[in-house]
Structure 1
Amino acid sequence: MSAIGSGGRVQPARPGDPSRIGPYRIVGRLGAGGMGTVHAGVTSDGMRVAVKVIHPEQAQEPEFRARFRREVELSSRVTGPHLVPLLAADPDAPTPWLATAYVPGPTLNQHVLAHGPLSEGSLYAFAAATAQALAAIHAVGVVHRDVKPQNVLLTPAGPRVLDFGIAHAADGTSVTRTGVMTGTPGWISPEQYRQGTAGPAGDMFAWGALVSYAATGRLPFVAGAPDVVAFRVMSGEADLDGVPAPLRRTVEEALVQEPGDRPSAAEAAQECAVLLASQVTQVASADAVPATAVDMITAVWEVPAAEDPTWQLPSERSRSKKRLAGAVVLAAGVIGGLAGGVAALLPGDAGGGRHAPSSAASASPLASAVSGQSSASAAKGDEAAEQQAASGSSASVASWNQARAAQGAGEHDVARAVLHDEGVEAQDLGGGVDFTPETVRFHESRREVYLSYRLTSDEQGTMYAETEIAKSMCLTLRDLVLRLHPDLPYRTYVMVKEEQGQDPQVTWQDDFVTNAECQSAADDGTGQDTDVSQDWQPDENGLGQAMIPSTDSAEIRVADGAARKIIAGTNGMRQTLGTDRVLGNRQIKVGFDPDNAVMYVWSDYVKWNEKQVDSWAGLVAGEACRALVNERESAGSAWPYSRYAVAEIGGSHYMMIRWGTATTQADCPT
């Protein structure tokens, strides 16, 4: 949950986001992750802060809350020029939070992807600053445990190490969930893989890998499946080609297998300071060399400043109009480094007759009754259409044309809230989706509220956008109608798509009163491979658990075998998927959620269309199901996993495509 730096624009606040957290006024979002959401906040005097709020589900777990309280206390100990200090926190709040200073700048990972490795002067400055930061952390008895490129910001004044979300005391008194290894594959030390121990020496191993990555742009132990990376870390040699010779010796010492043979952070910082001084003398005369290490880092730091986004500060009055639909908060997914909003989406038939994708209007159960009927003829009083609109049938273009503008204070409040929240949704969607809310109308006798909109996107983007539009409208109406204006008669919302030169099309309708959780048709389980009566569904928490590297040999073996078959099958159907690219472990991954006994398979290759995604999900579901059945037949009751889920992850969302229960080989998808 390390979205403190800019790295991109400040996102607008979302429906359900708080207006204040502690003493801070919330003006937007900076990102999200497995632990919670990072909000953009300001103090009363205008100071910008990053406020991290823990997911409500995790806050309800006493063990997690105890761990968070402990980590806040530990983080408060740590100060230094190359760190992002803790400003305030409330671990005992109903929803725990902590606040740090906002620091503009991209992460090392973002910088390397955009600009390549660091140059020599900046590289030595980076090595010295990060070693000094770890020395400050270790000096107060704290271990970071998640040193990686995503947790180092490159600010205009030099590097900053951040995110002590999983820091713990070197004395071993931290509170952690039994059996869970904290850290990220490729940045985990050999002893942590072997014994599960993480001390200061483990941070130094990760520091060596971090500096190597900064110098070369490559992971020193290469990317791949978690078990493959673990094997290389424990038995292979790091690839340090490209690390400058003077720095390479220190990096090699940090990456040795035995933790006792590695330099301490203070020793590495001292060695890097000497190398840094030689770099400074190349840009300044010997008598002008800065006296402190901090000044030396600034003297050679040549990383260009990233764009620092403007923080729009809405007035309290306009901010108060933002609805607080807190019943459902769609937790975002910096699960393991992802950023942006997260929403569940299932391609294919939307189910329940509620959603007809705009790209498939001819098959729309809502629009078919009025296909071919122009809005002009309806407006002129087409008798058949009038009778249909007056009946209790589904909403139609005719009933949309009969609907009127808002009347009275309550309806005006509803219309303003819907347009405001859908406007926020339009900003959130981004990514090639052009969505514009148009008008809100009311049909009192039919008890319907209509939203017309314009939307331009590809087929998959349209499905995702319309799912999000529907959820936002449902939440708004539940909040405004049921809570603030219960006297209003409305209970159904209807979405109407308008396109230039074409008749309006009813794309979605649902009862926002009975749909208490505002689940869209995409959330109904239409992607399930088993009986719809099953009482579980995959979610972002389970997916987040699956992304934690496993230390169980059986899980690693089954995941590796399934991944190999899925990757081979995926590459074997490239023609069907419409791509010439050969995919591998970087794009397709397998992991386990032990709490719900689910094996997750997910891909971050999001260039397939809806039909291609469905074809791929069928292949994956079959392989995942067979892998689970085979292991259960071999291991018996010792193998706890009986469920599987297939997901696709994008920059701002994830899709749960298909899931089911692995009972017998005959039941597995073919």
Structure 2
Amino acid sequence: MSATGPAGRVQPARPGDPSHIGPYRIAGRLGAGGMGTVHAGVASDGMRVAVKVIHPEQAQEAEFRARFRREVELSSRVTGPHLVPLLAADPDAPTPWLATAYVPGPTLNQHVLAHGPLTEGNLYAFAAATAQALAAVHAAGVVHRDVKPQNVLLTPAGPRMLDFGIAHAADGTSVTRTGVMTGTPGWISPEQYRRGTAGPAGDLFAWGALVAYAATGRLPFGSGAPDVVAFRVMSGEADLDGVPAALRRTLEKALAQEPGDRPSAAEAAQECVTLLASQATQVVGADAVPATAVDMVTALWDVPAGEDPAWHLPPDRSPSRKRLIGAVVLAAGVIGGLAGGVAALLPGSTGGGTHTSSSTASVPPSSSTGSARPLASTAKDDKDGTAANRQASNGGSATAESWALTRTAQGAGEHDVARAVLHDEGVVAQELGDGVGFSPKSVRFQESRREVYLSYTLASDEEGAMYAETEIARNMCLTVRDVVLRLHPDLPYRTYVMVKEESGRDPQVTWQDDFVANSRCRSAADDDSAQDSGTDQDSGADQGWQPDEDGLGQAMIPSTDGAEIRVADGAARKIIAGTNGIRRTLGTDRVLGNAEIKVGFDPGNSVMYVWSDYLEWNQEQVESWADLAAGEACRALVRERESAGSAWPYSRYAVAEIGGSGYLMIRSGTATTRAACPA
């Protein structure tokens, strides 16, 4: 789910949005995404609140409801002056919801992007306040699990930490295309990467990275593919240059590789309060230093308030207000008027959630039409959807009638498919922007026809709809393919179908494709592609297969597979070391690293890609580097196959250079034996 404008900016309600949720009147929307919608609500006494309504697909899962209920109960006990407590919730409603009070203020991420890092008293106040917030969370037996810049509001009265306790129950931190719950790359502890464990010590690690970001304006483990960021986290390569020396010592302990070497949140808070007191003495004098840490934060905090537009309630047309039965109303006297905000209910993104590398080049989407069929909503003269139904009915294709016979998810596998599709399409909605008006609605299943359906709304014009539906279809194909073929191969589904819903019109089947046969999830047939038919021993590349922009694009998509991350880390380490070892041959004195050299995987074609965005080599030097990279990539694949056997699916490698005008594939081949790898 994503924020969609400056803090406090309310979007108009959309058709079907409720006028009331629990005791709150709804003024509009604050955000929306794959896991639900955040509405701007107003209590009877005029207090502004942010109300998150969980997606109906999640509401149908008993296990999800149980987790949600437990976390609501636990989070109601967490209080503190630097937290955003829960106000009310109804986990037993037909569609569960929760609410926090609302306060204006940008997230740390928004503030740093607009105004730069925090300095002097603001920085020490931020460090102390956020450490105290975590100490309160941990004292209540809650693990935050999603400490990052998007989850800290800079309110006029000081920092407020968001999403404690609810983040992992209601939203997860991010759900990858494979449906696996993970944290946000760059804010995950080494032990969570290695063992999947998330505890208080992991929160402290993320806190150390958070304060480093606040102090420098830089991501402490850099940017790039999540695999590369994970490597830096696990190798301890935090960038703390520019952090004040006194505070740096505290952050270095918080960022220790081993959880047992880190201080507790309470210990870190005490250290930061001591530093804050020193700052307060310099600012107001020893005689005027406030007695409490909270007052010290308030005294030194000087972050300008952001825009806070008024909320205008629509006319209340409801005939009566029924008392909510079963709602859990949670009194929180410490709240005053300082809790909540749209980000409190949003998983947040680390720059949009787009699948791109840190280079200046991008991998463009395919925009032609072919084997994946765009139907009604992209046809120029089809005002009533009849052309869609004619096309969809040919050869037993999906129709509005088959959509009417679908059902909701049943069983763990189908729920994984539904969750992953809704999350990933929520990311697409964010990427497409408000002008397109794309909103994923539900995922349903037709088991006898082996079809997975996504219903959605789209408010774009014809040209925009064509582009949007191409992106929506490609993303759905990738998601369903990954979850079904990798995680749940016992599921019978083989086709995905998109259904557009519009007010006053029957549902329209707009797109469908066989996600198994369309292994690349292209929106058009690739004229140059062919089935692998052998191996070209001279070039080392499979006949009929060549590395291309789609494969490179797939390699840039974050991986959550442990083996892929491990192999990518190892290969990147060797390639970077080898590159720096031949700097003289490459004509540069610069030491290169993960920012310039990256490794990723294209599952559809079983390829490991290595790419560089370092642009200062000449052609001969590029060739030399590519030889080195190809050899290391080949050997890494062979070693893993020798260890894992047939469980390791990757047998090809490709080396590319990315520049401002595009990409260049330099080397490719098939990893057969170590002896056959490039020297």
Answer whether contact 2:606 2:650 (CA < 8 A) is retained: yes
Cα 1:180–1:285 shift into 2, 3 Å? same
- How far is the alpha carbon of 1:57 from its aligned partner? 2.2
Answer whether contact 1:82 1:159 (CA < 8 A) is retained: yes
Aligned partner of residue 105 in structure 2, secondary structure: coil
Distance 1:194 1:11 in 2: 41
Which residue number in structure 2 is paired with residue 527 of structure 1? 523
Which residue number in structure 2 is paired with residue 638 of structure 1? 647
Which residue number in structure 2 is paired with residue 67 of structure 1? 67
Distance 1:283 1:215 in 2: 19
Answer whether contact 1:227 1:560 (CA < 8 A) is retained: no
Distance 2:181 2:232 in 1: 17
Amino acid at match of 2:47: M
Aligned partner of residue 142 in structure 1, secondary structure: coil
1:25 is the counterpart of 2:35: no
- How far is the alpha carbon of 1:22 from its aligned partner? 2.0
Number of residue pairs aligned between Structure 1 and Structure 2: 457
Amino acid at match of 2:187: W
Distance 2:51 2:608 in 1: 31
Distance 2:287 2:93 in 1: 54
- How far is the alpha carbon of 1:145 from its aligned partner? 1.1
Aligned partner of residue 186 in structure 2, secondary structure: coil
Aligned partner of residue 100 in structure 1, secondary structure: strand
Amino acid at match of 2:142: V
Which residue number in structure 2 is paired with residue 224 of structure 1? 224
Distance 1:108 1:151 in 2: 8
Cα 1:241–1:234 shift into 2, 3 Å? same
- How far is the alpha carbon of 1:186 from its aligned partner? 1.3
Amino acid at match of 1:348: S
Deviations 1:235-294 (A, max 9, x none): 234221100112111111111122222221111111111211222223323322222211
Aligned partner of residue 246 in structure 1, secondary structure: helix
Amino acid at match of 2:523: G
Which residue number in structure 1 is paired with residue 120 of structure 2? 120
Cα 1:23–1:252 shift into 2, 3 Å? same
Distance 1:268 1:196 in 2: 24
Answer whether contact 2:10 2:40 (CA < 8 A) is retained: yes
Cα 1:32–1:433 shift into 2, 3 Å? closer
Cα 1:223–1:61 shift into 2, 3 Å? same
Which residue number in structure 1 is paired with residue 367 of structure 2? 347
Distance 1:53 1:223 in 2: 32
Amino acid at match of 1:97: W
Distance 1:335 1:121 in 2: 27
- How far is the alpha carbon of 1:43 from its aligned partner? 1.5
Which residue number in structure 1 is paired with residue 623 of structure 2? none
Deviations 1:71-108 (A, max 9, x none): 22221121111001001112222222211111211111
Distance 1:45 1:339 in 2: 36
Unaligned runs of 5+ in 2: 170-174, 321-344, 354-364, 389-429, 438-458, 473-498, 527-552, 576-593, 610-636, 652-679
Deviations 1:181-205 (A, max 9, x none): 5321211112222222222111111
Kindly report which structure 2 residues correspond to 1:3-402, keeping only aligned pairs within 5 A, or say none.
Answer: 6-7=6-7, 9-33=9-33, 35-164=35-164, 180=180, 182-317=182-317, 336-337=349-350, 347-349=367-369, 366=380
Distance 1:549 1:353 in 2: 29
1:553 is the counterpart of 2:563: yes
Distance 1:160 1:126 in 2: 9
- How far is the alpha carbon of 1:147 from its aligned partner? 0.7
- How far is the alpha carbon of 1:211 from its aligned partner? 0.6
Aligned partner of residue 88 in structure 2, secondary structure: strand
Which residue number in structure 1 is paired with residue 426 of structure 2? none
Answer whether contact 1:225 1:586 (CA < 8 A) is retained: no
Which residue number in structure 1 is paired with residue 661 of structure 2? none
Aligned partner of residue 316 in structure 1, secondary structure: coil
Aligned partner of residue 282 in structure 1, secondary structure: helix
- How far is the alpha carbon of 1:25 from its aligned partner? 2.1
Distance 2:318 2:306 in 1: 30
- How far is the alpha carbon of 1:226 from its aligned partner? 2.2
Distance 1:66 1:278 in 2: 46
Kindly report which structure 2 residues correspond to 1:582-597, keeping only aligned pairs within 5 A, or say none.
Answer: none
Deviations 1:141-188 (A, max 9, x none): 11111111111111111100001365679xxxxxx9999453212111
Answer whether contact 1:221 1:239 (CA < 8 A) is retained: yes
Answer whether contact 1:550 1:556 (CA < 8 A) is retained: no
Answer whether contact 2:72 2:89 (CA < 8 A) is retained: yes
Amino acid at match of 2:562: D
Amino acid at match of 2:564: A
Cα 1:74–1:2 shift into 2, 3 Å? farther
Aligned partner of residue 84 in structure 1, secondary structure: coil
Distance 2:180 2:186 in 1: 16
Answer whether contact 2:13 2:28 (CA < 8 A) is retained: yes
Distance 2:79 2:116 in 1: 30
Amino acid at match of 1:550: T
Cα 1:240–1:2 shift into 2, 3 Å? same
Cα 1:259–1:558 shift into 2, 3 Å? closer
How does the TM-score come out when normalised to structure 2?
0.54
Aligned partner of residue 194 in structure 1, secondary structure: helix
Answer whether contact 1:126 1:158 (CA < 8 A) is retained: yes
Distance 1:52 1:201 in 2: 29
Distance 2:346 2:524 in 1: 22
Amino acid at match of 2:107: T
Amino acid at match of 2:200: P
Distance 1:597 1:60 in 2: 36
- How far is the alpha carbon of 1:474 from its aligned partner? 6.8
- How far is the alpha carbon of 1:215 from its aligned partner? 0.2
- How far is the alpha carbon of 1:559 from its aligned partner? 11
Cα 1:228–1:46 shift into 2, 3 Å? same
Aligned partner of residue 294 in structure 1, secondary structure: helix
Distance 1:124 1:265 in 2: 15
Cα 1:556–1:63 shift into 2, 3 Å? farther
- How far is the alpha carbon of 1:462 from its aligned partner? 8.1
Which residue number in structure 1 is paired with residue 616 of structure 2? none
Deviations 1:488-532 (A, max 9, x none): xxxxxxxxxxxxxxxxxxxxxxxx5xx27x7799x99981659xx
Answer whether contact 1:7 1:106 (CA < 8 A) is retained: yes
- How far is the alpha carbon of 1:335 from its aligned partner? 7.2
Aligned partner of residue 37 in structure 1, secondary structure: strand
Answer whether contact 2:276 2:296 (CA < 8 A) is retained: yes
Answer whether contact 2:435 2:460 (CA < 8 A) is retained: no
State the percentage of identical aligned residues.
66
Answer whether contact 1:208 1:251 (CA < 8 A) is retained: yes
Cα 1:232–1:30 shift into 2, 3 Å? same
Answer whether contact 1:131 1:266 (CA < 8 A) is retained: yes
Deviations 1:440-499 (A, max 9, x none): xxxxxxxxxxxxx9979xx6688549999xxxx9744xx5477xxxxxxxxxxxxxxxxx
- How far is the alpha carbon of 1:29 from its aligned partner? 1.6
Amino acid at match of 1:553: A
Cα 1:148–1:246 shift into 2, 3 Å? same
Distance 1:559 1:466 in 2: 33
Kindly report which structure 2 residues correspond to 1:425-574, keeping only aligned pairs within 5 A, or say none.
Answer: 463-464=467-468, 475-476=501-502, 479-480=503-504, 512=507, 515=508, 527=523, 529=525, 550-554=560-564, 557=567
Deviations 1:304-338 (A, max 9, x none): 11111322211123999xxxxxxxxxxx9967457
Distance 1:241 1:78 in 2: 34
Which residue number in structure 2 is paired with residue 622 of structure 1? none
Cα 1:117–1:42 shift into 2, 3 Å? same
Unaligned runs of 5+ in 1: 170-175, 321-331, 358-364, 370-388, 395-427, 436-452, 483-511, 531-542, 566-583, 602-628, 643-670
